[in-house]
Structure 1
């Protein structure tokens, strides 16, 4: 009899324990779901994620840690999206501003041609001016497309180990006709076996833009010298001209989009070449700097990442 009573009491105690355990578990589940819902609501609203009195168990700590990671990723993506939208707004504003002048000029020339009777030579003059404005507009829009694609990542820079001299040679060849018209002497020093990881097409574009800028602002009979040297961690491409030079206070500004020096507004150009060059080199983990003094020319120095040991190994293996 005593054994039976003990068994009944034991079962009763077990039932009470299980009931209390279930009640506690149910309470923890409700608390957990409330905490999870609060955190998710904060994430949806974009509010700062704060732990609202966590129960202190391992599962919640683990889940909350994951939620924090998701929240940080979401915030980074939102910030990146906002930055891209701001860039696009600036680009659209720049397009609107920069296209006004050539379009207005073309309309003006058309109006004058309509009003003037006869004057075939005069009409030819205006047609030539309109052709020049059309070419400027076309160049501007092409530059805008390149900028927007580079900035938004539509165009992917593909760096591969390759000889640098052919890339540099194509860029130099593209500016030779303009240089010959101004009797500017071009010289290039670059080792035949020098290899560096770079995107041939876009690196050529960047170097051409710097060279073209040098030809544009170097006077008749001037010089442009290109020197390439391999350093410990970078290959340095120095493009030195004998042009008008750049004041110290303006040297950072020359890489800004649409920047043009005040005293050269009569020269052709829209001020995007150096901006594009820096963007292209930066996307290849390199950088550009300029050293200059007024009246003493400018030295644009392009630095591309370089691994001397790997380059020497490739040269030996190929030989």
Structure 2
């Protein structure tokens, strides 16, 4: 019954049924004409006997006709068989001694043989046609698989409406889509790796060149203690810069390559923000910036689902960016909670960002017109937040300040 849903089975079954019915009608017609011939032979045989006897005994015509065509009892039949047996005509006699019956038998056998031969040929043709349909589709799948191996994913595959082939084509198309997606991802990963190596090379080139120069100067004899200490301090700064840059780039590479398994669970967002403030307190003091948590926006503790360590990393990078561009100003963080999301709003009253730079600030190594930063912190923050099914928005006005919104979606059950 499972195979009955296949259109091939339906078509072949219908054709076989039509063939069987047609041949049944043809065989019935052939048997009719064959037995009609036997009937004529039967009548002609009796007519010959009656004609022969009535030629000399016409008075026996009525009795002979009745005896030839009326039903007789077994006793009369047995007596007749005894008479015929004395002349060698019994049930074992060969057809060759009965010309009329022999001719009818040969004709019937010829007709039946021809019909069986035609039926056999028809079945063979139907069988070949059925398997041709099946194997043509198998060949189509084979060709499509070769096309996929050669990198061509646009080949149109015949689609059945129902049956096992429909399921097979549907599964094959899904597999092709998945392979195509994986190949695109692999290509992107290769491009990402090439770009990453290029970025690392570009970003390390300047501090590395400076270190080489400092090392050459320090290796020269006669350098006084004051200059030696100054170049050693400069080398230390360049090494610290390189260390921070390499660590940040490795973090960004891991996040973008999905090589990090985030531990997402419910956390206290108020406490997370306070921990971020504690980390950035000294930096804010050096830049004469005040960090504020807008208590008016809070209605008790606000909890959300996120990876605490990585969200702190993202918030640190964003708030650090605000501190660097808000000398002598304020950086305020407020929290908002709705039925579908939780927002972390970070606002400063610093120099702001020009409108032409806004679409690019989250791009890796992008530097705005007035910025002298490396341009990796905001890119890392965006990747971390998006990896946790959140997103980040930014708005800014020059000389008025910038506002970042980190939006974490809730799991609606």
The two structures have a TM-score, normalised by structure 2, of 0.67
Q: Confirm or deny that 1:226 pairs with 2:330.
A: no
Match of 2:18 in 1: none
Between the two structures, name the one with larger relative contact order (CA 8 Å, sep ≥ 6): 1
The residue that corresponds to 1:17 in the other structure is: 122
Structure 1's unaligned 5+ residue stretches are 311-319
Aligned pairs for 1:95-106 (under 5 A) are 95-106=200-211
Deviation at 1:152, TM superposition (A): 0.7
Partner residue of 1:200 out of 295, 308, 324:
308
Distance 1:174 1:160, change over 3 A: same
Hey, what does 1:303 align to over in structure 2?
407
1:280 pairs with 2:384: yes
Deviations 1:229-252 (A, max 9, x none): 113422121111222111122122
1:77–1:128 Cα change, 3 Å = same
1:290–1:298 CA contact under 8 A, matched in 2: yes
Instruction: State which of 43, 46, 50 in structure 1 corresponds to 2:156.
Output: 50
Counterpart residue number, 2:218: 113
Q: 1:112 to 1:228 in 2, by over 3 A?
A: same
SS at match of 2:171: helix
Structure number with greater Rg is 2
- Within a 5 Å distance, the mapping from 1:35-114 to structure 2 comes to 35-47=140-152, 48-51=154-157, 60-114=165-219
Of residues 227, 244, 247, the one that matches 1:139 is: 244
Equivalent residue of 1:259, what SS? coil
Task: Give yes or no for the alignment of 1:291 onto 2:363.
Answer: no
Aligned counterparts of 2:209 and 2:230: Cα–Cα separation in 1: 17
**TM-fit CA distance, 1:254:** 1.6
What are the Cα deviations for residues 26-52 of structure 1, in whole angstroms up to 9, with x where unaligned? 544553443333222222222222247
What corresponds to 1:317 in structure 2?
none
TM-score normalised to structure 1 length: 0.85
Q: Please, what is the CA RMSD of the aligned residues? A: 2.6
How far 1:135 sits from its partner (Å)? 0.4
- Structure 1 position 69, deviation (Å): 2.1
Q: Deviations over 1:263-309 (max 9, x none)?
A: 232xxx422111111111112222212222111221212111136x8
Matching residue of 2:23: none
Structure 2, unaligned stretches of length 5 or more? 1-100
Aligned length: 304
The structural deviation recorded for 1:7 is 5.8
- SS for the counterpart of 1:248 is coil
Q: Which moved more, 1:179-188 or 1:169-178?
A: 179-188
